[in-house]
A and B are shown apart, each in its own frame.
Chain A
Amino acid sequence: MTSTDIRAVYLEELLRVAPDLDADSIGDDDHIQDDLELDSMDVLNLVAALHERLGVDIPEKDYPEIATPGRAVGYLSKAA
């Protein structure tokens, strides 16, 4: 999977968890909790969805690695 594919999967699952977001206005450095206002349950749901789609186990201590689209692509590319 290319990093473009991974980015697309990440954004798709992010929008499924938080459909109030506008896909076009999400920046690579937007923090999913601080900027996009996901709560901790949303984060858990996102982690579960990414696991489902990419087969990646994301332990709690790595949650900061998926906290922005930019960081997530790097982290998931390595892990997937």
Chain B
Amino acid sequence: MTQDGETTLTGAAAAGQTGARAAHPEGSGEAWTEARRLIDGWKGGVNIAHEALDRHVAAGHGGDLAIRWLGKSGERRDLSYADLTAEASRFANVLMDHGLRPGESVFAMAGRVPELYAAALGTLKAGMIFTPLFSAFGPEPVRTRMEIGGANVLVTTESIYRRKIASWAGEIPTLKLILILGDAAPEGCVALGPAMAAAPPEFETVATGPDDPALIHFTSGTTGKPKGAVHVHKAVLYHAYSGRKALGLEPGVKYWCTADPGWVTGTSYGIIAPLVNRVTMLIDEAEFDLDRWYSTVQDERVEVWYSAPTAIRMMMREGAEAAAPYDFSSLQFLASVGEPLNPEAVVWSEKVFGQPFHDNWWQTETGGIMIANRPGMTVKPGSMGQPLPGIEAGIVESEDGTLRELPPGEIGELALRPGWPSMMRAYLHEQARYDKCFVDGWYLSGDLAMRDADGYFWFVGRADDLIKTSGHLIGPFEVESALIEHDAVAEAGVIGVPHETAGEIVKAYVTLNPGVTPSDDLERDIRGHARKRLGPAVAPREVVFRKTLPKTRSGKIMRRLLKARELGLPEGDISTLETDET
């Protein structure tokens, strides 16, 4: 185990000490007995890649189709479970040949190409820790995450490397190896194509322990830097179980998860859960394109489709007529995640696809789907559904430093009883922030919600200032930090404002340095600056100028107030307001 590994395990152990999980010892309960039956275990421990690949090949399913990949320009590639296992093994061998060892950290940043999946699984096979990064991130989010995560290896494309990474890669002291997809690599990097071809296609999966770190997913904080949520190999129990229970993933099912592996959904349910359940995964390299998507569902006979509200709303924009020429009779189950799915979208999808999209709810920290409209359940349009068997959820409110569970119909913070197998075990190097998530035997989600009399949960809003745009959680602090690096900008306050397609979009309020005058050109220049540093998904779509921003006595910008005013809502408690917005 490396230093990083020890740190994360300290975090996990400390969670036990604080009593966070004491009330619900792991592994108890019928649900987890059922979950354990879905996996085999490996050499006395657990390894995700063994469950996802090796055991299927050993059981005679090596010829089953694991991945059908559709390239941007119409290319197709099929990989059987045996093929994918061989590719993952080659990747593990490449890592070991370069002197990397179990416990070290591998970051990947690339589009949806087969090599990315082989890299994720090969990393896990080698007992190393996998961290995906969204390929549309700009250089700043990438660098921050690689520094916090102590990246030892980066897998990426030549184009991403040259544009976003080359100029500072030498300043990451932990970085030992940069692997470039394809046959050629810039100086100081290794071309993955020839390295894979030269590596043996066999690799004995490392015998990892159940609590050894496997994945680190970064998630945004309201203040401070992004947090690296650490997940362990044992999480695979829950990936297997929730994939089965919440999505209906069974061996042989044709499954399409449209999420990018740069985010947690694209890893938990775009790589691990489907392979562990031995489905055939469809992977489309291209971005959303209506006709392409409809043709793909029809031609590939997709049975289970897991997508996101933004995409569903883009389908709705074109109406039922655009869908009418297609045959959707293969579809058996449709699910959606990322942000609440509006009731109209549920009703519309049932009309158009013959099946409603089933909304579900979870977070980077939970590692898997916690609350869902499951197969066979009555869907309540607009509700996230009910907790999966084995998951205990509640609506709580803080009262004199302790938590009180609220009765049905009341709005409070959505909380979960800790102890499910895929729960995060630490925020990397951030014990205090981790501990803050656990109060009185509950994990606090930061989401406000309500439970109805039938036990269905309904999302109300975020309890903090985080922004949900196109299903991605964005921390205002990271955006504000990039904005104030612009020469003209003095201060910045960033909020999410409602948007019919994206849910919310990022909007920035800025004040300017003395002597600088607001103008359209300056607005554009500031947005351009933010896009270069943060990438289009994170940068503000709109920048407005103010003379002053509303601030507390301690000088904190009151984003809550900016938002209330933007939405025309009551301003609430403004007793801490010192200087107001002008």
Chain A interfacial positions (CB closer than 8 Å to B): 15-16, 18-21, 33-34, 37-42, 44-45, 59-61, 63-64
- CB pair A39–B289 under 8 Å, yes or no, is no
When the two chains form their complex, are residues B314 and A61 in contact, meaning their CB atoms are under 8 A apart? no
Are B287 and A41 closer than 8 Å at their CB atoms? Answer: no
| Residue in B318, B525, B527, B536 whose CB lies within 8 Å of A39 | B536
Binary per-residue interface labels of chain B (530-550) against chain A in the complex, 1 for a CB within 8 Å, 0 otherwise: 011001110001000000000
Residue B470 at the chain A interface, CB threshold 8 Å: yes
Contacts of B501 in A (CB 8 A): 41, 44
Asked if B351 CB lies within 8 Å of chain A CBs, one says no
Chain A hits for B505, CB < 8 A: 41
CB distance from A53 to the nearest CB of B (A): 15
Contact check, B536 vs A18: say whether CB atoms are below 8 A apart: yes
Count of A-B contacts with CB under 8 A? Answer: 58
**For the complex, what is the distance from the CA of A59 to the CA of B505, rounded to whole Å?**
22
Contact A60 B314 (CB under 8 A): yes
B136 touches A37 (CB 8 A): yes
With contacts A19-B527, A19-B531 taken as known, whether A41 is within 8 angstroms of B72 at the C-beta atoms is: no
Which 6 A-B pairs have CB atoms at the shortest separation, nearest pair first?
Answer: A19-B528, A20-B531, A19-B524, A20-B528, A60-B290, A39-B536
A47 and B441 CA atoms in complex are apart in Å by 50
Q: Nearest chain A CB to B295's CB is how many angstroms away?
A: 11
Q: Which residues of B contact A (CB under 8 A)?
A: 72, 136, 287-291, 310, 314, 317-318, 322, 469-470, 501-502, 505, 524-525, 527-529, 531-532, 535-537, 541
A18–B317 CA distance with the chains assembled, in angstroms: 23
A-B contact pairs, 22 of them (CB 8 A): A18-B536, A19-B525, A20-B527, A20-B532, A34-B72, A37-B536, A39-B287, A39-B470, A40-B288, A40-B314, A41-B469, A41-B470, A41-B502, A42-B536, A59-B318, A60-B289, A60-B290, A60-B318, A61-B291, A61-B322, A63-B289, A64-B289
Within 8 Å CB of A40, what residues of B?
Answer: 287-288, 310, 314, 470
Known: A33-B287, A40-B470, A59-B322. 20 other contacts (CB 8 A): A15-B524, A18-B528, A19-B524, A19-B528, A20-B527, A20-B529, A21-B528, A37-B136, A37-B535, A37-B536, A40-B287, A40-B314, A41-B469, A41-B501, A41-B502, A41-B505, A41-B536, A60-B289, A61-B290, A61-B291
